[in-house]
């Protein structure tokens, strides 16, 4: 499931819904991204997330579909906020539920790595010097590229039990 919203989300109830009455799920992996109070040396007082309505949902749905094709998943979830956030606020939640823990971990990791480089969101950080658009990071690019490897080249074992 995909959601793009300004409102905060309740982590516990979102995750609980994913496994509720699901007795085939052996593992649920989730990742939450939060606003930090520092960017390098600069103190952050707020962060404004801009996005491209329409394309965002489309891009997230494609990432989600790709994960469901690569791994045997019982449920997936992507929630991404936009608008003004302050340090400590939740920005994003991605989660994957599977019979097996490796699939849950890999799919969850994949979701956030691809989201970071493909979903049209932009962060504007408010510091004492004014607003500054966050630069894209090479490390995010290489994290995303990792998932371009073919399935059989992947270094991890996908058959480990939950």
The residue ranges that bind other proteins (CB under 8 A) are 33, 49-52, 54-55, 58-59, 80, 91-92, 112, 115-124, 133-137, 140, 162
Contact letters for its own copies, residues 122-141 (x by CB under 8 A): ---------------x-xx-
Any alpha helices (H) in 25-161, and if so which ranges? 55-70, 101-118, 138-145
Name which of residues 40 to 69 contact its own copies (CB under 8 A): none
Closest to 146 (Cα-Cα) out of 123, 103, 104, 114? 114
In a 10 Å sphere around its CB, with 0-12 CB exposed, 13-18 middle and 19+ buried, how is residue 32 labelled?
Answer: middle
Whichever of 23 and 53 has its CB closer to its own copies, that residue is 23
| Contact of 98 with 25, CB cutoff 8 Å | yes
Q: Which does 124 bind (CB under 5 to 8 A by kind): its own copies, other proteins, none?
A: other proteins
CA 5 – CA 82 distance, rounded (Å): 6
Name which of residues 4 to 33 contact its own copies (CB under 8 A): 10-13, 15-16, 19, 21-33
| Contact of 105 with 29, CB cutoff 8 Å | yes
Q: Give residues in contact with its own copies (CB under 8 A).
A: 10-13, 15-16, 19, 21-38, 87-88, 99, 101-102, 104-105, 108-109, 112-113, 137, 139-140, 142-143, 146, 155-157, 159-162
């Amino acid at each position: 499931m995909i959601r793009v919203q300004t409102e905060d989300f309740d982590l516990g109830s979102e995750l609980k819904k994913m496994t509720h009455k699901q007795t085939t799920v052996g593992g649920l992996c989730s990742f939450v991204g939060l606003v930090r109070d520092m960017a390098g040396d600069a103190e952050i007082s707020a962060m404004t997330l801009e996005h491209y309505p329409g394309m965002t949902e489309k891009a997230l749905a494609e990432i989600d579909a790709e994960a469901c094709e690569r791994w045997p998943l019982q449920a997936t979830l992507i929630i991404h906020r936009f608008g003004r956030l302050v340090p400590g606020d939740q920005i994003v939640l991605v989660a994957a539920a599977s019979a097996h823990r490796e699939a849950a971990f890999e799919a969850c990791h994949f979701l956030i790595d691809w989201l970071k480089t493909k979903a049209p969101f932009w962060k504007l950080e408010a510091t004492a010097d004014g607003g500054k658009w966050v630069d894209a990071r090479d490390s995010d690019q290489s994290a995303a590229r990792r998932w371009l490897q073919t399935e059989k080249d992947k270094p991890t074992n996908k058959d480990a039990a939950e």
